[in-house]
Amino acid sequence: MTTPRPTAAHAPARPLVSWNLLPGILLAASGFLLFGLDERPAGYLTLAVSLVAAVAIDRALAKDLLLIAIGLTAISLVPINTDIEWGHMLLMGAALAAAVLLPYLISRFVYRDHAIRFPVWTGKRWSRFEFGYLVAVVILGWFLLPVYMIPTGVYENWPAASDPGSIARLFLGTNALGIWDELFFICTTFALLRRHFPDWQANLLQAVLFTSFLWELGFHSWGPFLIYPFAVLQGWIFRQTKSLSYIVSVHLLFDFVLFLVLLHAHNRDWLAIFLY
């Protein structure tokens, strides 16, 4: 007599948290230590432990976490700040480029898979709601960023730009970094974590790394309470739209308002269109 297979109604419930989440949590913790607390030795040790734990639990998970770890390590090797002198911008830009390119090239040509993609042209037109959200992003940025950056003094973490050259470099830096955030934290980190964890868990983990990096960049004070929801929302939007071009558009619009706020904060008689 054979034992009947359990039906969906009687199948054991999938646990909300499984052991394979441990390496992911350790990975996120390593980013918090490396960038949020600037504790490099502790961060590297936690990153190594996350990879060892992944090897013990799931070799496929370990392979994908290794790609993220390579990116995090590349970023951690250079000073992360808002210096807009060409020398620093080129050095930091090289590290950020390596953090995206190395995981992609290893995934594509060593692992021979397509886990990391950068879907610019999806063939799908943006909806009215999506266009409306772009407008809402500008309005929210106009309202929130001055309230956050000026009373807290956080704007002073960015250099004062008042001549054409420094203004151009500030504009280039804010836009390039906004694009990179989506390439690494969403299209690389989130995409790799989604292969092993439910989307909501993968999204929360990538948002820890996203927020920790921007904290080291200069978004201090209560910045994490602004950035973490933004990072989670960007991951959710990417899951829904599957469009890099859309999430980059969202980010660049927000960063354009950031650029204007920085100009105003350092030169108070400029752009007197904000609340502060």
Taking only the tens place, the pLDDT of each residue in 192-209 is: 999 999 999 999 999 999
Rounded to whole angstroms, how far apart are CA atoms 119 and 187? Answer: 9
Q: How confident is the model at residue 1 (pLDDT cuts 50, 70, 90)?
A: very low
Do 221 and 154 touch, CB atoms closer than 8 A?
yes
pLDDT of 176 reads 97
Q: How confident is the model at residue 12 (pLDDT cuts 50, 70, 90)?
A: very low
pLDDT at residue 18 in the model:
72
**What's the pLDDT tens digit per position in 224-240?**
999 999 999 999 999 99
Give the separation between CA 258 and CA 141, rounded to whole angstroms. Answer: 7
Mean pLDDT over the full length of the chain: 93
Percent of the chain with pLDDT over 70: 94
Q: What is the mean pLDDT of residues 124-152?
A: 96
| φ and ψ of 122, to 5 deg | -95, -15
CA dist., res. 154 & res. 252, Å (int): 20
**Is the pLDDT at 3 greater than 70, yes or no?**
no
